[in-house]
Amino acid sequence: MYLFLKRCFLFLFITFLIIYAFVSYHKVERANYRQTYLHGIIDKHQLLDTTSSPRIIIVGGSNNAFGIDSEMIENEFNLPVVNLSINGGLGLYYMLGEVVSETRKGDIVLLSIEYFAKDNRNFLVNKLRSFPELLQYSSHYNIVNKVDLKISAAFKHVQTGILEYIYTYLPDRNVPEKPKPPKVPIYYRKAFNSNGDVISHLDLEGHLEKSDRQYYPYKYWEQIDDLNKFIRTTRKRGAEVFYLFPTYAKSFFMQDAESLKLLELDIKTNLNVVVLNELESFVYPDSLFFDSNFHLTGKGRHQRTLDLIEILSNNEDFRLQIAQSN
């Protein structure tokens, strides 16, 4: 038994040393890394910390970051608005974990989550390589998850380094690349205004390539249970939650309509919260989107905010909550 354990420890020690050597050799170069789009999270959380309650907190992915003018909402309802949304790629659990422990009495949380969002481990692992503090902004991750994700990120970095090294020895394949539109800087840390809305894209014209592919095959969205858990916790803290279907480009919606309608039914049946809008409320023509089927142009953003204000104003539960908060 002791021989077995001794050999196990020796083997693990040697393996650890070799892995450590690999990881050290492929250290992440972090020059200027703190200026990426995702690092906007740091500023958004600073904003959340310094904004006194009651407040409206907008939670979700980039459909909100690009598609909401928080100032208009602030002026309409006389409550400070913090747009915490940044990127749906972070996954549902990250987004919910960002806000669940931050809500206070009287806060109103507007959830507008991209369809079928769930965990997105791969995205987190990739981003952790250049943004190691990323996980500290979401209370969803316990110590085990954090260690797991950070080790994976370190390994991922070595993997990328090794594969790039191998590729240099493979014959050049000369794959013709698709012509890309000229790049306008949109995704950087300072792209946000003082409410947390992206404003670097406001002057862009709509440009969206159509797709004939279905992006969301229907499957029961099991994360509804997690959303209900989030809602219960938030209510216990004295805040109220409302749900909104996200923005989506028309041609994409047509492809996914069948499964999204089933999703709408599931949400309306099983989510224990007021659903403020209809599935198609924020579906706009493709000409109002630019680089993604969720990213509205400045014009689209204005239209969506007007529609949102109308929806909020017409909803009795929301009005009541606003009155209580005020």
Partner 1 sequence: MLFNSIEFALFLPVVFLLYWFVFHKSIRYQNTLILIASYFFYGWWNWRFLLLILLSTLIDYIIGLSLENEEDDVKRKFLLFTSIGVNIGLLGVFKYYNFFAESFAAAFSLFGTPFDPIRLNIILPIGISFYTFQTLSYSIDIYWRKLEATRDFISFAAFVSFFPQLVAGPVERAKNLLPQFHKNRVFDYHNPTNGLRQILWGLFKKIVIADNCAVYANLTFDNTMDYSGSTLALGAVLFAFQIYCDFSGYSDIAIGTAKLFGFKLMQNFAYPHFSRDIAEFWRRWHISLSTWFRDYLYIPMGGSRVSKVKRIRNVFIIFIIGGFWHGADIKFLAYGSLHALYILPLIILGKNRKNLDVVAYGKFLPSIRDVFDMGTTFCLRVFALIIFRAASIEDAFIFMSRLFTKELFSLPSIEVQNESSLVLYSLILIFNLIEWVHRDKEFALSNLNLHIVLRWSFYIIIILLICFYKSPTSENFIYFQF
**165 belongs to the binding site for partner 1 (CB under 8 A):** no
Distance in Å, CB of 82 to partner 1, minimum = 32
Number of residues that bind partner 1 (CB under 8 A): 34
**325 belongs to the binding site for partner 1 (CB under 8 A):** no
Question: 85 with 65: CB under 8 angstroms?
Answer: yes
- Break the chain down into helix, strand, coil percent, rounded to 5: 50, 10, 40
Q: Which of 32, 50, 78, 144 binds partner 1 (CB under 8 A)?
A: 144
The residues facing 242 across adjacent strands are 110, 274
Q: Which of 62, 112, 138, 152 binds partner 1 (CB under 8 A)?
A: 152
Question: 62 with 87: CB under 8 angstroms?
Answer: yes
Per CB under 8 A, which region of 16-24, 29-37, 191-199, 252-260 contacts partner 1?
16-24
Q: Supply 92's token pair.
A: 């549902």
Between 167 and 238, whose beta carbon lies closer to partner 1?
167
Between 80 and 89, whose beta carbon lies closer to partner 1?
89
**75 belongs to the binding site for partner 1 (CB under 8 A):** no
Q: Which of 6, 34, 118, 162 binds partner 1 (CB under 8 A)?
A: 162
The full DSSP string for 280-307 is TTTEE-GGGB-SSTT-B-HHHHHHHHHH
225 burial type by CB count under 10 A (0-12 exposed, 13-18 middle, 19+ buried) = exposed
- What does each C-alpha distance from 33 to 37, 38, 256, 268 come to in angstroms? 10, 10, 37, 41
Residues at the contact surface with partner 1, assessed by CB under 8 A: 1, 3-4, 7-8, 11, 14-15, 18-19, 22, 121-122, 144, 147-148, 151-152, 155-156, 158-159, 162-163, 166-167, 170, 173, 175, 213, 217, 220, 222, 270
